[in-house]
Structure 1
Amino acid sequence: MSFNEGTQIDSSQVEDRRGPGMGRGGKTGIGIVGALILLVGGYFGVNSGLLNGIAGAIDGGSGQQETAAIGASSAAQLCKTGADANNRLDCRINATVNSLNAFWPSYLKQNGGASYGKIKTVLFSQQTSTACGPASTDVGPFYCPGDKTAYFDPGFFQELVDRFGSSGGPLAQEYVVAHEFGHHIQDVLGNISQAQDDPQGASSGSVRVELQADCYAGIWIKYATTTKDPATGQPFLKSITQKDLNDALSAASSVGDDRIQEAATGQSNPESWTHGSSAQRQKWLTIGFQNGSLTKCDTFAVSTP
């Protein structure tokens, strides 16, 4: 979905750790072993310190954080309006964060009364530090419950297309951001810990947590075009198209456990799944979008998610 050009971006909701002139971070290539390890919790997941320690070792083990000061090219200075969000990925992430932070407080208040606190969002490249441990860009986007922060290396969104075969498009990218905010909603509602209690398998707690975050992303997509920018009183986003939906579904499919495992090893092992199959991820994103209901997103209430 494209943003309305007059939307005002609140850059205070995003911390840019990339430093001056930082674009896509340099990445050390990982092989089959690295890809399989990352399946344990990366690619839109909930971050654990153990996972990132492993991923950091694969990435070279330097453990160094990108600490360059924010300069003239930072998102905070370049991202002002919806027009910027339509032209720059970092601005699109920022504007999506603004929309999500505007949507979820009132939605939760109307649907159970849970209190929503705006989460912190960080843009980084290569590596950064988190309350869940050191994070490598190879883990992909993730949410850390320890500091209630969503982390994004913008370079991942090109990987989504080049490496995972997503069709790309704005809503494919916005869906990824919305998925991480879905984990925050789980944190607010108290069920995020079930991912660690039952970490692997086609019907595991981990898979159910990830599919529920996809469903919550679908809820936001349903209402995104009516969620208003508090600065202008106008909706953040323009009307959704079928192509937009197809892009989001393509992104969800591209990071299914079965698809990633088959690409890495030529076969899929459901007993090791942590995020769900491509079909499951598309299914629950669609359920959220079609119903717009938290109760319909209860992936723990069904025998087979």
Structure 2
Amino acid sequence: MRFNPKARLDTGRVRDRGRGSGGGFGRGGRGGGLGGARMPVPGGMRTGGGIGGVIVLVLLFVLVQCVGGGVPGLGGGGGAAYDTGRFADTDRYENCRTGEDANDDVDCARVAVENSLHDFWSDELGNRFRPVEQLATFSGSTQTGCGGASSAVGPFYCPPDSSIYLDTTFFEEVLDRQLGGPSGGFVEPYVLAHEYGHHIQNLLGTMGRVRTQQGPTSDAVRLELQADCYAGMWARAATSTEDADGNVLISELTRQDVEEAVAAAEAVGDDRIQQKTQGQVTEESWTHGSAAMRVRWFETGYDTGSLEACDTFAADRL
């Protein structure tokens, strides 16, 4: 993946909160009510350290959005009810100005990917589109509109504050070392695109369709697979997205990049995680879908570029 050196980056929606203290939950404690649609894993909250304590999480996005997620005027609750601007912002992204910076620095690449997702979905949805409030990176722990979050949670989207949260150590510590997933350059863009897909679902009111939360054909799984499909839609069009001046943001996206996204989708399939963490697969507890499902729906989005084709709620076969 290469960025256009002449592209101008907008850091206005990307924030870094630095290292937090308290307010979240760590490897040895219980969650403090965190909800939100999350990238990595299925299952229930566990206490204690080790791989099970780190990656087995509760999926509470249904409760969160029913309590008050959404964007004002778009079928949800008050997106402004949580003040995302009250946290200090470090200078982590201060030097991210151009696509050349994005080619040289992973932090600036993150900004460029957010800019690309913003442009793609703005064109796709038109007047239905609202940007994420922020893409917030942090270390250790932080507070969100969904409660306290720690690095154990993995990347997630929080509907009440319309924001994506990410402890960037997730990719090396969990996805790579613990789940055996890929660590290539396009893995993080795929994850961010998946989380942005949850934002699109929030805008379109799709989260309100979730009734069943576990099982291979549950609404929760359908929601996650649709976010994968939306990620594929963006990947298909990524090289046509533009900055505010009309310059192309992403100059090259290779087949290897797409294969890295597919490998990441496989690594976070419910069956793969269950087999690795508990030695057996329990379909009735799935919340995100199998590795094959996740790959199939990412590729559906990539091959079709169609919102209609990504309607997992209407699909007979997942």
**Structure 2 partner of 1:58:** none
Does the CA contact (< 8 Å) of 1:108 and 1:115 recur in 2? yes
User: Aligned to 1:200, what secondary structure does the other structure show?
Assistant: coil
1:246 corresponds to which letter in structure 2?
Answer: E
Q: Quote the Cα distance in structure 2 between the aligned partners of 1:89 and 1:192.
A: 31
Q: 1:223 to 1:36 in 2, by over 3 A?
A: closer
**Structure 1 partner of 2:168:** 154
1:16 corresponds to which letter in structure 2?
Answer: D
**Structure 2 partner of 1:299:** 312
**Structure 2 partner of 1:246:** 259
Please state if 1:142 is matched with 2:156. yes
Please state if 1:170 is matched with 2:185. yes
Q: 1:166 to 1:7 in 2, by over 3 A?
A: farther
Does the CA contact (< 8 Å) of 2:262 and 2:298 recur in 1? yes
Residues 221-257 of structure 1: CA distance to partner in whole angstroms, max 9, x if unpaired? 11110111123x2211122211111111011111111
Question: Pairwise CA RMSD of aligned residues?
Answer: 2.3
**Structure 1 partner of 2:238:** 224
Residues 50-82 of structure 1: CA distance to partner in whole angstroms, max 9, x if unpaired? xxxxxxxxxxxxxxxxx99544xx323132222
Deviation, structure 1 residue 16: 1.0
Q: Quote the Cα distance in structure 1 between the aligned partners of 2:12 and 2:55.
A: 36
Does the CA contact (< 8 Å) of 1:125 and 1:137 recur in 2? yes
Q: 236-245 vs 209-218, which deviates more?
A: 236-245
**Structure 1 partner of 2:50:** 31
Match of 2:107 among 90, 97, 106: 90
1:34 corresponds to which letter in structure 2?
Answer: G
Q: Quote the Cα distance in structure 2 between the aligned partners of 1:31 and 1:186.
A: 33
Does the CA contact (< 8 Å) of 2:193 and 2:234 recur in 1? yes
Percent identity of equivalent pairs: 44
User: Aligned to 1:96, what secondary structure does the other structure show?
Assistant: helix
Deviation, structure 1 residue 207: 0.3
Q: Quote the Cα distance in structure 2 between the aligned partners of 1:251 and 1:302.
A: 23
2:163 corresponds to which letter in structure 1?
Answer: T
Deviation, structure 1 residue 47: 8.5
Does the CA contact (< 8 Å) of 2:15 and 2:135 recur in 1? yes
**Structure 1 partner of 2:225:** 211
Deviation, structure 1 residue 94: 1.4
Deviation, structure 1 residue 125: 1.1
**Structure 2 partner of 1:11:** 11
Q: Quote the Cα distance in structure 2 between the aligned partners of 1:147 and 1:249.
A: 29
What is the total number of aligned residue pairs between the two structures?
A: 271
Deviation, structure 1 residue 37: 3.6
Q: Quote the Cα distance in structure 2 between the aligned partners of 1:249 and 1:301.
A: 23
**Structure 1 partner of 2:82:** none
Deviation, structure 1 residue 32: 5.4
Q: Quote the Cα distance in structure 1 between the aligned partners of 2:112 and 2:305.
A: 21
